[in-house]
Amino acid sequence: MDLVPLDYRIETERLTLRMSQPDETDFVWDATRYAGFNDGMMWNKPESKEELDAFVGNVPERWRSGDGYLFTFRDKTSGQPLGRIVIERRCGGWNAGFWTHPKYQGAGYASEALAAILEFAFETLGLNQVSACHADWNIASRTVLERCGFRFKVHIEEGFEKDGEWIAQDSLAITRDQWLANRCSEKTAS
Ligand SMILES: CC(C)(COP(=O)(O)OP(=O)(O)OC[C@H]1O[C@@H](n2cnc3c(N)ncnc32)[C@H](O)[C@@H]1OP(=O)(O)O)[C@@H](O)C(=O)NCCC(=O)NCCS
C-alpha cells in the first residue's frame, strides 16, 4: 500500500474529510460535554482537554505508519467541523468508528462520511474487509452501518467496559465484494 499523504482530502456531496488536527480540541471537547455523548463509545468523557489530547494521541504518526487514519469531516461550504471518523487496525483486522457532534446529528453526516471512508478503505488502502462494533442499544450507529452495507456478524455480551459495567456489543462487517456489489446495484437503480 502506498503512503497516504498527510494532506489527503476526500470530498463528498456535502463534506470535506481531512486528517484531524490538534487545533480541533475545543470542538471535540464541546461534543463530550453533551449528556450521553460518550455512552456508546469505548472512550470515556474526558476530565480535561489534556486528557482528551492524550487519548487522541499522535494522529500524524499513526497515519504515516499506515496503522490508523483519523479524519474530521467538515461542512464543505462553511468549513464547520461536524464530526470525526477513523479507520484503524485493531485485533488483526481493520475497524471503523465515528461520531457526529450532537448539534449536527440526524442530518445524514455520519452515513455520508462512512460511505466515503469505505471507498477510501477498499479503493485507496486496498482492504478486503472492514468491521465495526456498536453498543447493542445504539440504534443510530447500527442504522448508519447498515445503510452503508455492513451486515451483522456476532453479538458480544461482554463487549467493552464502561464505569465498571460490561456493555454488550454487536459486531458488523462489510467485505470488498459486498461493497462493490452494493455500488453496482446503486448505479443500476439510479
Ligand atoms: C451514531 C452517530 C454517529 C450517528 O450520527 P449522525 O450524523 O446523526 O448519523 P446519520 O444522520 O447519518 O444517521 C443516523 C440515523 O439513525 C437514526 N436514529 C438516531 N437516533 C435513533 C434512535 N434512538 N433510534 C432509532 N434511530 C435513530 C436517525 O434518525 C438516522 O436515520 P434516518 O436518516 O433514517 O432518519 C451519532 O448519533 C453519534 O455521534 N452518537 C454518539 C457517539 C456514538 O455513539 N458513536 C458511535 C459509536 S459505535
CATH of the domain at 15: 3.40.630.30
Q: What is the pLDDT of residue 86?
A: 98
Q: What is the pTM of this model?
A: 0.96
The pLDDT assigned to 185 comes to 77
- The whole-angstrom separation of Cα 7 and Cα 17 is 10
Is residue 114 in some structural domain? Answer: yes
Q: What's the 144 CA to ligand 1 centre distance in angstroms? A: 6
In a domain, 166, yes or no: yes
Per-residue confidence (pLDDT) for residue 190, from 0 to 100: 65
Q: Would you say residue 2 lies in a domain?
A: no
Residue 3 forms part of a structural domain: no
Best residue among 27, 109, 144, 162 to mutate for probing ligand 1, ranked by most atoms within 8 Å of CB: 144
Amino acid letter, 148? C
- Say how many Å lie between the CA of residue 1 and the centre of ligand 1: 32
Q: Would residue 155 count as lying in a domain?
A: yes
User: 91 C-alpha to center of ligand 1: Å?
Assistant: 26
For residue 189, the model assigns a pLDDT of 74
| Cβ of 111 less than 6 Å from ligand 1 | yes
- Which atom of ligand 1 approaches the CA of 83 most closely? 39
Tell me if 182 sits within 8 A of 190, measured CB to CB: no
pLDDT of 163 reads 85
Q: Which residues in the chain land under pLDDT 50?
A: none
Question: Residue 42: its pLDDT value, please?
Answer: 92
| Domain presence at residue 4 | no
Q: Which helix (H) or strand (E) holds 69?
A: strand 68-75
Residue of minimum CA distance from atom 30 in ligand 1? 106
Neighbours of 169 (CB within 10 A): 19
Number of domains in the chain: 1
Instruction: Decide if 76 is inside a domain.
Output: yes
Expressed as residue numbers, the domain containing 161 is: 9-189
pLDDT recorded at residue 91: 86
In a domain, 139, yes or no: yes
